[in-house]
Structure 1
Amino acid sequence: MHCHERREANVATTFYDSTTGYYTRKIKTLTGRYRKIKLGKPGPDHADPNVIPPDILDMGDRWQDEHHVVSTVPKVEFLAPPSGHEAGPLPSWAAPARRIDLLDKLESYYRQQAKTLRPKSLEKLRLVIDRFSGWCERNGIRHMDEVRAGVVNAYLEWELADYERRGKTIALQTLKAYLSLLGKCWSQAIRYEQYQGQNPIRAVCHDLPSSDITSRPESLTSEEIAALMEAIAYRKARPFERGPSCRLPQWVEDIVVVMLNTGLRINSTVHLRFDWINVDRLTVPVEFSKSKKVYSTLVNAKVQAILERRRAELGPDAERVFPEPKGPAWVYSRLNYLAKSLVKSGKWKRDMGHYNHVLRHTFITEQLKAGVPLVMVSKLAGHTSVAMTQRYDQSTHDDAIRWALVKGVSL
């Protein structure tokens, strides 16, 4: 379209809005939505406000050029490249309606994730963001739409070469696993900020091995549970000359016992409130449920004893059962220290990791071993499907036959 043709078309979309008193341009963005842009008020020398001054039209043209909004070019559907061919640079009509600064978006994403991630995970995310953003800046990549799958692959090649230069080795799959931490950043831009491209991180890291739903989650044996409780008791009572801060607080033992006997996740346990308990049941509200559904689990005698003692210690006005920990990371750090020492001493045969969640796994596994029906355990655990709970089932075909002979019905 020639310049004068664009000017004539823009005159038709620029008008004086008597309601606001502004010259206004009505445009249609690449997402198909209409919006109004205020360009300025008429000057004192403008007798007829319905006559649009040239400087106002120029202002509207500059705004459209800066924000990549073209109101007079018809919408063209994006055609995917043939299979096996890398897509070329984005054409002008396929650029996003508003270019998103890459560094600003990554920093905003980091601040958002800092509210929920554990310290070690947040530290890893910080490292990935710093290295990826630094590489992009050195290569002149400033906006999110400039990051394509080819760019991501080039970054991974640079990372491999950099590790080799420093005399270190790292697997490509490990680098992809680190980089996949940024995938959600592009997903949010696509969902909430009208980003028009695809997710380049997910396109490259799609082949990462996911967790096998048929694998059996780690759980503690009765001997390992006894060793854990013994280590906690020792660190609660040991006399240290360095001061009371070296002793393990009582609330750590209480949280471990509660998680082993209720199957609560660590976030729900840390934020556990007295008003969640009703006699022999504990109801987890939506905001602390991973499935975003209310579910209930049991309160046995051990848990009831802890709740009564905590109520007596904290007073009748207390709301939280465990007000001491500021978040799940407080519990994780202490259990991490205990687990490492137990593995080192040989009382635990393996380092299972995610120690707070292993307590939940143990609860589910032991309930199934005790003969509680799979469907009932799934409800106690707050799982959205029985298939998730079935991963914890350790029974064999022989066990099923013996159970059917005892509990089955003869027809």
Structure 2
Amino acid sequence: MGGVPPGHQEPTHGFAVTPGGSVVSLERTRHKYLEAIALFLRPNTVINARTALTNFLRYMGAHHPHVSSFSELQRDHIEGWLRALAHRPLKRSTRRNLVIKLRVFLETIRAWGWSEAPTGPLFRTGDLPPEEKILPRPLSQDTDRALQEELERRGGIIHNALLLQRMTGLRSQELMDLEVDSLRRLPGDDWALHVPVGKLHSERVIPVDAATVRVFQRILELRGDPPALAHPETGRPTHFLLVRPSGRRYSRDALRYHLDKIEKDLRLSEHPSPHRLRHTFATEMLQAGLRMPVLMKMLGHRTIGMTLRYVKITQEDVRRGYLEALAALKERYEIPLLPVSTRPQTESPDPKAILSQLLATATTLESYRRDSTSEAERKSLQRIVERLRKLARDLERSTP
């Protein structure tokens, strides 16, 4: 129904089903809406809408069984549903999604002029739970190195797939959706990985190095030549990269299983989840000097704000580099108490170069701040820019 895969069951989120004529009437409107949006929206979007509407209808059946049309809804009904959601053991992101989908449904059927639609808006600005601020969690260098060495040593198809994820920063589902011809040769001796349509409904091509090409080719050797499978979105015969010898596709659970096993066997001090491999790749690229607009494209982020989360991680690197530079300057210009050694001294970092890098970073972030449409993001960037400029002024004063 409504573009939803057969047999799919949406989660109830704790509301019991209460049968009744009024609920059946609301269900007809829900069904008509799902059938309509299935014509132009992706199946997963339809599933999410179906889940939210089912949740709301079950609440209405249990608490307001007399309501027989969405046109009868009042603000009190929405507030009661929001309070019920708040008392359920749901993640904040889950509550946000349910609220957004119901709001979109009510606004859409009003815009379409359906007779079952409410007469006016029922949601207010404060109804939406705030987004969770989840910072990236890259692995430490020691854990990252030990994990990559162990994946190389074990050498199975999923071990190599995890190495590929670490080397490219792919999302887990993007990794599972790669096809055997996703690795493309560019003019010259360069290679790129074609990433299929994924989480944000867009595809991209990212450059890869020779080591990544070797990992991809090892996976091709390990997978053999199983028959093509029907693509779940288009139905076309597709040779997916990560396929079992039996011909069945691997799931994302296989990634987590092998990482959990390595964590246990090596007694790692950190939990290396698949998404942390993506965080580690992104943070490493940023620390190596990759410009944020380029990293944004490589990660498949829709806005620079998504990529700027990684800047917060690297502020500690800026502070550490600044303190190391000050220590080097102090050692360089301090009058020695011991006789000068005849051996050549190690060259100290150039303070002018460090100063230039700090100012350049501040200027880049300032340009992003001006272009940002989020007030909270602009304030956060302003604080970062001010700290960087203060570091630059302190360093300039300490340099003769």
The residue type paired with residue 140 of structure 2 is: T
Closer, same or farther in 2 for the Cα pair 1:253/1:343, shift >3 Å? closer
* Residue equivalent to 1:376: 294
Identify unmatched segments of 5+ residues in structure 2: 1-23, 229-238, 326-348, 358-400
**2:67 pairs with 1:141:** yes
Q: Are residues 285 and 262 of structure 1, via their aligned partners in 2, closer, same or farther at CA, if it must alter by over 3 Å?
A: closer
State yes or no: 1:282 paired with 2:188.
no
Partner of residue 397, structure 2: none
From 56, 80, 102, give the equivalent of 2:26.
102
Please give the per-residue CA displacement for 1:83-123, whole angstroms capped at 9, x wherever unaligned: xxxxxxxxxxxxxxxxx953345567599799538xxx98x
Matches within 5 A, 1:138-287: 138=62, 139=64, 140-157=66-83, 177-178=94-95, 180-188=97-105, 190-191=107-108, 193-194=112-113, 197=118, 200=122, 205-206=127-128, 208-212=129-133, 216-226=135-145, 228=147, 250-279=156-185, 280-284=190-194, 287=197
Question: Structure 2 vs 1, CA of residues 309 and 233 (structure 1 numbering), >3 Å: closer, same or farther?
Answer: closer
How far does residue 180 in structure 1 lie from its aligned partner after superposition? 4.3
**Which residue of 197, 200, 207 maps to 1:298?**
207
Secondary structure of the corresponding residue to residue 371 of structure 1? coil
- 1:398/1:176 CA distance change after superposition, 3 Å: closer
Residues 272-305 of structure 1 deviation map (CA, whole Å, 9 limit, x = unaligned): 124332234435467336263x532222233212
**More helix, by proportion:** 2
Q: 1:340 to 1:404 in 2, by over 3 A?
A: farther
Label 1:332 to 1:129 Cα distance change in 2 as closer, same or farther (>3 A): farther
What residue is the counterpart of 1:396 in the other structure?
318
> What's the CA shift string for 1:29-85, capped at 9, x where partnerless?
xxxxxxxxxxxxxxxxxxxxxxxxxxxxxxxxxxxxxxxxxxxxxxxxxxxxxxxxx
- Are 1:314 and 2:224 counterparts? yes
Alignment correspondent of 1:323: 243
In structure 1, what is the equivalent of residue 394 of structure 2? Answer: none
| 1:231-268 Cα shifts (integer Å, max 9, x gaps) | 8689x79xxxxxxxxxxxx3322221111101122232
Contact 2:168–2:208 (8 Å) recurs in 1: yes
2:18 aligns with none
What is the alpha-carbon distance in structure 2 between the residues aligned to residue 145 and residue 404 of structure 1?
A: 68
Offset of residue 399 of structure 1: 3.9
CA deviations 1:207-250 (Å, max 9, x no partner) are x12144xx63122223333565578689x79xxxxxxxxxxxx3
Aligned-pair CA distance for 1:201? 5.8
- Higher radius of gyration, 1 or 2: 1
Q: How many residues align?
A: 275
Deviation at 1:159, TM superposition (A): 6.6
1:287 is paired with a residue of what secondary structure?
coil
Mapped to 2, the partners of 1:289 and 1:370 lie a distance apart of 27
Deviations 1:128-170 (A, max 9, x none): 766542331242223333333310222345677xx7xxxxxx6
The AA in structure 2 aligned to 1:288 is G
Q: Partners in 2 of 1:217 and 1:377 — Cα distance?
A: 14
Query: If the length of structure 1 is used for normalisation, what is the TM-score?
Result: 0.51
Aligned residue in 2 for 1:362: 280
Contact 1:291 1:382 in 2 (8 A): no
Structure 1 146/274 Cα, relative in aligned 2: closer, same or farther at 3 Å? same
CA deviation after TM superposition for structure 1 residue 387, in Å? 3.8
Aligned-residue offset at 1:269: 1.5
Match of 2:10 in 1: none
Does the 8 Å CA contact 2:59/2:81 hold for their aligned counterparts? yes
Does the CA-based 8 Å contact 1:176-1:205 persist in structure 2?
Answer: no
- Is residue 224–residue 348 contact of structure 1 (8 Å, CA) maintained in 2? yes
Report how far residue 389 of structure 1 moved.
2.2
8 Å Cα contact 1:149-1:204 kept in structure 2: no
1:179 to 1:103, Cα distance in 2 relative to 1, 3 A: farther
Distance 1:256 1:285, change over 3 A: closer
SS at match of 1:290: coil
Distance 1:406 1:254 in 2: 39
Give the Å deviation of 1:372: 2.6
- 1:116 corresponding residue in structure 2: 44
Question: Counterparts of 1:340 and 1:129 in 2: how far apart (Å)?
Answer: 39
Letter in 2 for 1:184: K
Structure 1: how far apart are the matches of 2:29 and 2:143? 45
Q: How many Å apart are 1:335 and its aligned residue? A: 0.8
How far has the Cα of 1:341 moved from its partner? 8.6
Structure 1: distance between partners of 2:304 and 2:96? 32
User: In 2, distance between residues paired with 1:157 and 1:383?
Assistant: 33
For residue 183 of structure 1, what is the amino acid of its counterpart? I
Q: Percent of pairs identical after alignment?
A: 16
Task: Report the Cα distance in structure 2 between the residues aligned to 1:356 and 1:224, rounded to whole angstroms.
Answer: 14
After superposition, the Cα gap between the structure-2 partners of 1:226 and 1:131, relative to the gap in structure 1 and judged at 3 Å, is same
Supply the distance in 2 between the matched residues of 1:151 and 1:300 (Cα, whole angstroms). 57
SS at match of 1:297: strand
Q: Which amino acid aligns with 2:44?
A: T
Partners of 2:75 and 2:122 within 8 A in 1: yes
TM-score, normalising length from structure 2?
Answer: 0.52
Q: In the alignment, is the contact (CA less than 8 A) between 2:169 and 2:278 conserved in 1? A: yes
